[in-house]
Structure 1
Amino acid sequence: MIKVERHGAFNVNCVGLERLPFPMSFSVREAGGSWMISAAAARAGELIDVLTRTANDTVVVNLATNSFLDEDYQQWRPSLIAAEQGVDCTVHPVGAWAADSIELGEEFLVMHRNSLPRFLSSGWSPYELSLVDVPAGATPGQLDELALVIGTAAADEPVLPRLDGSHFWFSGHDDCYLAVESTDPAMPSSVLGRLLALLAGSALIDASGASSVGVPEPADALPEQLIAESPHWMGAVGNASGTTVTLKLSPMSQRWRLGQQLPKQAGYTATLDLAHGMWHLTAGES
């Protein structure tokens, strides 16, 4: 059971001047021994427990945000944000060479993965966020090398093969769009299952007017079945009442792009029966 809140990504984000509901999107491929996922919509805080299940204890954070600004409207240093959030971390100065040449921030925060939920707790939002796990005791030289790898990686290029001992990498934009790379073969179905629960939860909040709602995640077999049929999916809310939500899910030939419309006919319907805590998947629309 997860807690879905009103300020979650599906409730906050919208598409176009018409402010249409934001669709769920999911895409996965295997490359270089990693599973590479692109998806929307989710805030980092809504996924962090999924992302770090098989990660090293130590996580490096790079971020940009407009949620913490000084009197000159300049972003706080990440270390000040961590202090404000009450999170213990060590600070690694990235150096002007990285900030000027590959557009990374001036600081990396190195913290325990268990500190991430508190660090990302509600009330603020990063418009750029990178997370990568590293083995404990990473040296300053290794962190500089990490900065070079993630700062120079081409789009859609796997980075984990170039980071010895790292198991996941996350890049989030606008606290909505996300890219995940993981060596864990269970990560794609875990992320898709969480997205389905978040989308259903957003519909229940809209239907009930509640500030939050508890939603069970689907059993692993449901997202695994979807991924086995297609690596690319779009989804939207069909109907929602106080205890039942239907989601229209459509397999796609390629990953979703902003502005792409949902197919007129859904390939599957996923139904959440909240009263019994059960998910069901049926072919076609219902």
Structure 2
Amino acid sequence: MAIVLGPNRYGKAETRVVRVTRDGGVHRIKDLNVSVALSGDMDEVHLTGDNAAVLPTDSQKNTVFAFARKYGIGEIEEFGLLLARHFVDSQPTIAHARVEIHEYGWDRLAGPHSFVRDGGEVRTALVHSDGSDGPESVVSGLTDLVVLNATGSEFHGFIQDEYTTLAPTDDRILATAVTAQWRHRGTGSSWGPSYAAVRSCLLDAFAGTHSLSLQQTLFQMGRRVLDERPETCEVRMSMPNKHHFLVDLEPFGMDNDNEVYFAADRPYGLIEGTVLTDDAPPAPAAWN
């Protein structure tokens, strides 16, 4: 029996970089968490400990900081492409770079240089590159987009076995925290406007769907994105069902006409799915 080295990669995870851009007396902030993973001619470092092909992860971290200073940070997709292309183009032993970025929003307070951390969703980007002349892909996304419909949601007609206690309902709260990633057809999108438009599609579809299941809502959200945003070809979503249970107030002599609920944080149902066009180009093997 032979033992061989399988697929591998290495890199610097979660480099936190904050870039302040000073336009005269008015400041702007970009707050990122950047993770880099590189792969290529790495057999010897695993098999013999020869580090000749290895770009240290500390150098990768320093590159993030240096590029933030040298080029600034605009849209995170473009910053990810810039980093990924650099690592492949500058190092002959590196054949592929994966760069994942999470962006934390800040809202401006009164005055030109005061901010408060945005409590909303986190914007994400995932870039794969084989260098400037090789194949590339960009996946934009968001996490923790918390949404709720106070009505317009049903759940019935499901399997009922000897362990089923859940009662069917034609009126329930539907709440979730959306994690969504959408793959672009190329690397030439207008990243900021595209992100804002896709986010609006997700929210509009969630609000506008009379839901018979969270699965149905997920599909409608993905379909809305693909119908309205031609630069996208695939949407992947993970949506926990944030259960809200009607509280029994009869012991206190009160009725409860769908007004008072207990918000349970766990356990929770987790709904995940992919929606894509039938002409979507093949995704990178490890786009996650």
Please give the TM-score of this superposition, normalised by the length of structure 1: 0.28
Please give the TM-score of this superposition, normalised by the length of structure 2: 0.28
Tell which has more relative contact order, 1 or 2 (C-alpha 8 A, sep 6+). 1
Q: Highest CA radius of gyration, 1 or 2?
A: 2
